[in-house]
């Protein structure tokens, strides 16, 4: 391998093809011409001395060599993004790009209005919002600030509890108008239920708290919390939801005395990032907004 000839732009093209499965998809992702994407892949293959993709009816398939390189190029992408965020900042001002990560439900249902207020107060900020249930590592600078529903355990991470999701069973009023409201947990088996699909830990967790979503009457199964919420709002069944989100969508509480528990919500950042104004502003501002959001009303 002729290492000095390797360029990040060619490796970005390689990663884009891996993610999209085609040169055209990679070109759209990178905002370049397809011919440019092709030249960059060809240049990278010439540098490493082997073919990296095989053409197939399904698109470009990575060779074994390409598969061996995936973890390395993804690590380089993380480092490059961190470098870009750092380079975008004015060290004397709370300006530049901050990468924020959270789970899907919080990222879609809770955070956007808070980010609007934060951007209004600090218009020089740019936010990269990564909405995913995968825990991005703050220690490796995959993200600058994280909002999580479990306490971070990394020794280099500063974390603050901002409140609790108050979780119970809910249903759309239309469903309860049609089928009535259950009076006991045992009666739930006569109603359509909404619950996790293959997340065995979550199924067990809910079962321990009084909601047996492994029952045959669980007719809508999905591990995506946003999809669960959408199914609840559509009146497809009874399922779990936080009180804060349920109120916003007019969902009705079911069996409050039998199924009622809390889930911690935390905001976290790498301890060294406290000295970076733009990241500290997001951490403190978002932390205050979340704490207020979770106050009992």
HEC sequence for 211-257: CCCCCCCEEEECCCHHHHHHHHHCCCCEEEEEHHHHHHCCCEEECCC
CATH 1.10.10.10 occupies which residues in the chain? 3-82
Residue 59 is predicted with a pLDDT of 79
Residue 2 is predicted with a pLDDT of 43
Token pair for 178: 């049609």
Blockwise average pLDDT, block size 10, the chain, 297 residues: 60 86 86 87 84 82 83 73 60 73 91 93 90 63 84 82 94 95 90 92 91 88 94 96 93 93 91 83 93 84
d(CA 269, CA 286): 12
CATH 3.40.190.10 occupies which residues in the chain? 87-164+264-293, 166-261
Residue 88 is predicted with a pLDDT of 56
Residue 183 is predicted with a pLDDT of 92
166-261 fold: D-Maltodextrin-Binding Protein; domain 2 (3.40.190)
Residue 3 is predicted with a pLDDT of 43
For the domain covering 87-164+264-293, report its CATH number.
3.40.190.10
Residue 256 is predicted with a pLDDT of 92
Question: Which one is the CATH code of 3-82: 1.10.10.10, 1.10.1740.10, 1.10.1060.10, 2.40.50.180?
Answer: 1.10.10.10
């Amino acid at each position: 391998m002729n290492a000095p000839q390797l360029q990040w732009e060619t490796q970005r093209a390689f990663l884009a093809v891996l993610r999209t499965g085609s040169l055209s998809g990679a070109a759209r992702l990178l905002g370049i011409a397809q011919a440019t994407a092709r030249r960059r892949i060809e240049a990278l293959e010439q540098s490493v001395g082997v073919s990296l993709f095989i053409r197939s009816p399904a698109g470009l398939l990575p060779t074994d060599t390409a598969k061996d390189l995936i973890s390395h190029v993804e690590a380089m992408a993380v480092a490059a993004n961190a470098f870009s965020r750092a380079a975008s900042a004015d060290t004397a001002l709370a300006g530049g790009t901050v990468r924020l990560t959270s789970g899907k439900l919080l990222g879609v249902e809770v955070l956007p209005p808070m980010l609007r207020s934060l951007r209004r107060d600090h218009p020089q900020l740019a936010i990269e919002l990564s909405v995913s249930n995968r825990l991005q590592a703050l220690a490796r600078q995959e993200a600058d600030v994280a909002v999580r529903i479990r306490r971070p355990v990394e020794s280099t991470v500063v974390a603050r509890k901002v409140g609790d999701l108050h979780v119970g069973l809910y249903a759309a009023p239309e469903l309860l108008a049609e089928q009535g409201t259950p009076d006991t947990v045992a009666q739930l088996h006569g109603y359509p239920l909404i619950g996790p699909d293959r997340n065995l830990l979550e199924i067990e967790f809910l079962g321990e708290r009084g909601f047996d979503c492994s029952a045959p009457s669980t007719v809508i199964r999905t591990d995506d919390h946003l999809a669960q919420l959408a199914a609840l709002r559509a009146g497809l069944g009874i399922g779990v939801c936080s009180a804060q989100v349920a109120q916003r969508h007019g969902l009705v509480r079911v069996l409050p005395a039998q199924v009622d528990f809390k889930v911690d919500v935390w905001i976290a950042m790498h301890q060294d990032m406290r000295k970076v104004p733009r990241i500290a502003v997001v951490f403190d501002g978002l932390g205050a907004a979340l704490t207020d959001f979770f106050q009992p009303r």
